[in-house]
A and B are shown apart, each in its own frame.
Chain A
Amino acid sequence: AQSVTQLGSHVSVSEGALVLLRCNYSSSVPPYLFWYVQYPNQGLQLLLKYTTGATLVKGINGFEAEFKKSETSFHLTKPSAHMSDAAEYFCAVSDGSGNTGKLIFGQGTTLQVKP
Chain B
Amino acid sequence: GAVVSQHPSRVICKSGTSVKIECRSLDFQATTMFWYRQFPKKSLMLMATSNEGSKATYEQGVEKDKFLINHASLTLSTLTVTSAHPEDSSFYICSARGTGYYGYTFGSGTRLTVV
Contact = CB atoms under 8 A, between A and B. Distances in A.
Given A42-B108, A43-B93, A43-B106, A105 B32 contact: no
Contacts of A79: none
Query: Which of B6, B44, B49, B103 has the largest number of chain A CB atoms within 10 A?
Result: B44
> Number of contact residues on B: which range applies?
20 to 34
Interface in A62-113: 90, 94, 97, 100-108, 110
Given A104-B46, A108-B42, A41 B95 contact: no
A57 B103 CA distance: 15
A103 B102 contact: no
Contact of A108 (B43, B93, B104): B43
Interface residues of A, number: 24
A14 B76 CA distance: 43
B46 A41 contact: no
Interface in B61-100: 91, 93, 95, 97
A104 to B, nearest CB: 7
| A-B interface, 5 closest residue pairs, ranked by CB to CB distance from nearest | A43-B108, A43-B106, A44-B106, A105-B44, A43-B109
Looking at chain B's contact residues, the main secondary structure is: strand
B102 A107 contact: no
Interface of A: 32, 34, 36, 41-46, 49, 51, 90, 94, 97, 100-108, 110
A103 B109 contact: no
Contacts of A110: 41
Contact of B109 (A42, A101, A105): A42
A26 B97 CA distance: 22
B43 A101 contact: no
10 contacts: A41-B91, A41-B111, A42-B109, A43-B106, A44-B93, A46-B103, A90-B44, A102-B34, A104-B46, A108-B43
Contact of B97 (A41, A49, A51, A101): A101
Contact of B103 (A42, A49, A100, A107): A49
